[in-house]
Amino acid sequence: MNETNIKTALDALARVDSDVASILITTGYPAPRIRPAGFETFLNTIVSQQISTKAAATIWQRVCDLMTDITPNALLALDGKQLREAGLSQRKMEYAQGLAKAIVSGQFSPDALAKLDDEQAIEEIIRLRGFGRWSAEIYLIFSLQREDVLPADDLILLTSLQRLKGLSERPTPEVARKSIEHWKPYRSAGSLFLWHINQYKD
């Protein structure tokens, strides 16, 4: 979603949700977050899992430096020792190689995801080892630019929703989905907004 898409979507949400309208005046609109679709982003997702942003950037650069082009075949040409020395754990190395093998064998096609609806695309992604629903939903928002995705398992999103709605406790993913059902079909922009307002403290 570009700036225009985000503004249009959040203006629409503000018209149906007074809480959004109220905070939007203070925080303004979130910036676009666009990541390229394809193998490179999937690989970067694996590298970045469960480590700090700084550590992920360092390891990612080391992995990239091992390849002339970041492709499945180039990744598979590397041996385990090289990947471990770059900073990948044994499990992440297995996930990365499994991703590359799935693409090379034709079992998984990043390009084909664009032709699937949201739920079908999520199901295809979570067939891969190392990818859960949250990772799949993030890919749909940032790489496939889908407009109505809510990563309801995201803790920052849930905490921001608690604040937005003045709830006494952080909502469960199920409660979150129900409480912003009226955000359809703009839940991706709504998710961006919830991440955005997290930086604004009372």
Domains of the chain, earliest start first: 3-32+149-197 (1.10.1670.40), 39-142 (1.10.340.30)
| Euclidean distance between CA atoms 64 and 103, whole angstroms | 18
pLDDT of residue 199: 86
Decide if pLDDT at 200 tops 90: no
* Cβ neighbours around 160 below 10 Å, total: 22
Q: Cα–chain-centroid distance for residue 137? A: 6
Exposed e or buried b per residue across 125-153, where buried means at least 16 C-beta atoms within 10 angstroms of its C-beta? bbebebbeebbbbbbbbbbbbbbbbbbbe
3-state SS assignment for residue 45 = helix
Decide if pLDDT at 50 tops 90: no
Q: Which two tokens stand for residue 64?
A: 């990239």
pLDDT of residue 35: 94
36 DSSP assignment: -
Q: What's the mean pLDDT when you consider all of the chain?
A: 96
Tens of pLDDT, residues 98-142: 999 999 999 999 999 999 999 999 999 999 999 999 999 999 999
Tens of pLDDT, residues 184-196: 999 999 999 999 9
Query: Could you tell me where the DSSP H helices lie in the chain?
Result: 3-16, 18-27, 39-48, 53-65, 72-76, 80-86, 90-105, 118-126, 133-142, 155-165, 173-179, 187-197
3-state SS assignment for residue 68 = coil
Give the pLDDT mean for 138-156.
96
Decide if pLDDT at 202 tops 80: no
Give the pLDDT mean for 139-148.
97
pLDDT of residue 123: 97
Q: Among 122, 116, 120, which residue's Cα sits nearest to residue 140?
A: 122
